[in-house]
Amino acid sequence: MSNSDENNKKPSGIEIFLTNLKHLPQSFKDAAVRHGPPSSNRAASQTVFSNLFLHIHSVRTHRYNFKKTFTVGLGIASAAAFVILVITGVLLMIYYKPSLAQAYNSVKDIHFAVPGGRLIRNIHRWGAHLMVLGVFLHMVRVFMTGSYRHPRQFNWVVGMILFAVTLGLSFTGYLLPWDQLAYWATTIGAQIAGSPVEITDALGITKYIDIGGTQMRLLLGSDVVGEEALVRFYFLHCIFLPLVLITFLGVHFWRIRKDGGMSRPSKITDDMLVGTPIDVAAEMAFPTKNKTYGLMCLVKGDSNNVKNSPNQTVQSWPHLFNYEMAIFILVLAILIVLSYVSDAPLKEAANPAVPENPAKAPWYFLGLQELVSYSAFMGGVAIPGLAVLGLMLIPFLDRTRNQSGIWFPDKDEKTVFKSTVIFSSIVILATLIFTVNFGWLRNWYPQIPQMFIVILNPGTVITSLFVWWSLRILKKTGSTRLGAMSIFTCFLIGFIILTYFAYQHRGPNWNFYWWPSLWPTH
């Protein structure tokens, strides 16, 4: 004992400390990362489920998910944009001051004086646009590939909520620079919120039930856009809506796992998987292709492996993470390039006395604004309300269990899509051309009660025709999927054309002009 004691002489405290100090980088790294780069599939799996940020993914991912033409990476891009927005947003919060006296100047300072402020603000602005666009296209993709079907109905609803919150975030952020653009776009938005006043006015009950006014005051904290609105929007934009979004985003991702991963067709042949990564070892390990698995009670419906052998899967690490990381960096690169190409606008400081003419809402609300120009209530509340409600309910009304995960799986869908695109384009263009050239009821009968116009206006005419068309398709084909397809396509085309029309062809006093350069300057 004593010998060994002597031989293994207990190192002094100083020595231990120095040794530990020497090993500090390594031990810190070990503690933080725990695993080195995984060298085997097992290690890779280990890495995934032992990491908070990675474990939301499954360990293995189906090869179909990597098919570039399937998802186009839109969901990931939207999420990436959101992450970038959070980071840049937090940076902007350091310098931004949400008060009438300082808001505009603080944005000017961010632009001129804050190191990197201009770049951060530009990225934030472009990121917001990109996120709205990404979320919207993501929704279109999910619908068109029929991915809302059982068991993903609820995730579709969550997606709709995320879409609404995204618009809310973008809209509330629009006001914060407190310039003319912000002020008047928000005023338009608030007016849309207040539009039920049109119908309560027409019924003469505004005195008793002022739904529009209440909504507007709830939004603005006042009757006009002012300091109250600014603080409110700041709070919504920086705290409330991001928390809501993060929460539902978590649910959204979680549901993907729980609903059996991304949607995909029930039968996937090898030629459908051309160009996706392949795990040869796994192919070899499971020669039988008919074996199925079920994770009873844990995962609803068919799990990843049910009915399909796992040979069509690959390790999430590194394939999926590379994919995601690539899209993330791509999005970042796009935003940085755009930020150098074009600055985020900062017009003259908000001036309640000088209305912008035309005062246009942010681009994603322009379609609505066009409808609002016909009837505030119908365009601002009823039609979009019905549309959102209809969208949410689609998975419950169309309960067919056709192929999902494929763009236009059969000829019928393609035909219906094409004919609906043509039909809805004609309906909208014809209505717009008619309205621009001949006006509407108010121009012909100036004394007409507003109620008539609320009921019968270009917006309701278009909507009715859309509904009629979809019912006709539904009746003719007997397929709820095709009916849903046609109404969705109608609204999609409507949204695109109206947005374009309002963006490009509406000028001062919401009059028609071919180009903004033709706007009168006085």
Partner 1 sequence: MKKIMFYSSIIVIVFLIYGAVKEYLTTDWRSYQNQYAEFVEKDGVDFDVDYRQLVLPWFDKIDRCVICHVGISDPKTKNLANPLRVHPGSYLDSHDPNKFGCTICHDGQGRAITFESALASSEEYYWEEPILLSPYLEANCARCHRSDMPKLSGAYQRGKRLFIENGCQGCHTIQGKGGALGPELTTIGQESFSAKRPHSDNEHLIEEFNGNVNLAYIFEAVYQPKIQPDSSQMIDFGLSKEEAKDLTVYIKSLQEYAVPEGMIAASGVIEENGKDLYLRYCSACHGKNGKGTNLAEIGKLGPALGNPQFLAIVDNDFLSAIIEGSGSSVMPAWGSGGGLAKDDISKIADYVLSLKNEPKLYKEIKSVEGIAKYGRITFNANCAGCHGIDGEYETDLIGPTLRSPQLLSLFDNEKYYETIVHGRAGTAMPAWNFLSKQELADLIVYIDSWRAKKITYTSFVNAVNKGSSLRGKRLFYENCAACHGDNKEGGIGPSLYSKEFLTLADNKFMYNTIVKGRRNTAMPSFNHLDKNALGDIMAYLRDGFKGTTIGTGKKKIIGSEFNGKHLFERTCAQCHGKKGVGLNGPAIGNKDFLTNASDEYIWNMAAYGRSGSQMKGNLHGQNGTSDLSKKELNDIVSYIRTLEKKSPHLNGISTIPGDVDNGRIYFNEMCSQCHGIGGGGGNGPGIGKKGFLQSVSDGFIAAMMMSGRDGTEMKKFGRGGIVEIDGNTAMNIVYFLRNKDKSEVGKKYVVGTPQNGKVLYEGQCIQCHQKGSFAPDLMRSAFVKAAPVGYLQATMSLGRHQTAMQSMIRGNAGLTELSSKEINDIISYIKMGKE
Nearer residue to partner 1 within complex by CB, 86 or 144: 86
Nearer residue to partner 1 within complex by CB, 115 or 478: 115
Q: Name every residue whose Cβ is closer than 8 Å to that of residue 93 and which is 6 or more positions away in sequence.
A: 238
**Residue 316 CA from chain centroid, whole number:** 25
Q: Kindly state the smallest distance separating residue 325's Cβ from partner 1, in Å.
A: 6
Q: Kindly state the smallest distance separating residue 360's Cβ from partner 1, in Å.
A: 13
Q: Kindly state the smallest distance separating residue 521's Cβ from partner 1, in Å.
A: 4
Peptide bond into 358 cis (omega under 30): yes
- Residue located via tokens 């069509």: 312
Nearer residue to partner 1 within complex by CB, 319 or 481: 319
Which long-range contacts (C-beta less than 8 Å, at least 24 apart) are formed by 478-484? 479/400, 479/412, 480/397, 480/398, 480/399, 480/400, 481/146, 481/398, 481/400, 481/402, 481/413, 482/412, 482/413, 482/416, 483/398, 484/394, 484/397, 484/398
Q: Kindly state the smallest distance separating residue 18's Cβ from partner 1, in Å.
A: 38
Please answer whether residues 241 and 169 qualify as being in contact, where contact means their C-beta atoms are separated by less than 8 angstroms. Answer: yes
Rounded alpha-carbon distances, angstroms, from residue 492 to 136, 375, 420, 431, 458: 10, 20, 10, 16, 17
Which long-range contacts (C-beta less than 8 Å, at least 24 apart) are formed by 339-343? 339/119, 339/122, 339/123, 339/126, 340/119, 340/122, 342/122, 343/111, 343/118, 343/122
Q: Kindly state the smallest distance separating residue 267's Cβ from partner 1, in Å.
A: 26
CA distance 166 to 86: 13
Q: Kindly state the smallest distance separating residue 350's Cβ from partner 1, in Å.
A: 10
Q: Kindly state the smallest distance separating residue 99's Cβ from partner 1, in Å.
A: 12
Q: Kindly state the smallest distance separating residue 245's Cβ from partner 1, in Å.
A: 25
Nearer residue to partner 1 within complex by CB, 57 or 149: 57
CA distance 313 to 279: 7
Report the SS3 class of residue 313: strand
CA distance 361 to 368: 9
Nearer residue to partner 1 within complex by CB, 239 or 325: 325
**Which residue, among 400, 397, 405, has the nearest Cα to 488 in the 3D structure?**
397
Q: Partners of 349 in the beta sheet?
A: 179
Structure tokens at 416: 């219906």
Please answer whether residues 406 and 145 qualify as being in contact, where contact means their C-beta atoms are separated by less than 8 angstroms. Answer: yes
Q: Kindly state the smallest distance separating residue 275's Cβ from partner 1, in Å.
A: 11
Residues in the chain: 522
Nearer residue to partner 1 within complex by CB, 107 or 158: 107
Is residue 17 exposed (0-12), middle (13-18) or buried (19+ Cβ within 10 Å)?
A: exposed
Nearer residue to partner 1 within complex by CB, 181 or 378: 181
Nearer residue to partner 1 within complex by CB, 242 or 358: 358
Q: Kindly state the smallest distance separating residue 60's Cβ from partner 1, in Å.
A: 17
Q: Kindly state the smallest distance separating residue 380's Cβ from partner 1, in Å.
A: 25
CA distance 465 to 155: 30
Nearer residue to partner 1 within complex by CB, 105 or 511: 105
Nearer residue to partner 1 within complex by CB, 18 or 333: 333
Nearer residue to partner 1 within complex by CB, 351 or 511: 351
Nearer residue to partner 1 within complex by CB, 14 or 353: 353
> Interface residues with partner 1 (CB under 8 A)?
101, 105, 108-109, 112-113, 115-116, 119, 179-180, 322-323, 325-327, 329-330, 332-333, 336-337, 340, 345-349, 351, 353-354, 356-357, 520-522
Q: Kindly state the smallest distance separating residue 282's Cβ from partner 1, in Å.
A: 19
**Which residue, among 138, 132, 211, has the nearest Cα to 171 in the 3D structure?**
132
Please answer whether residues 375 and 460 qualify as being in contact, where contact means their C-beta atoms are separated by less than 8 angstroms. Answer: yes
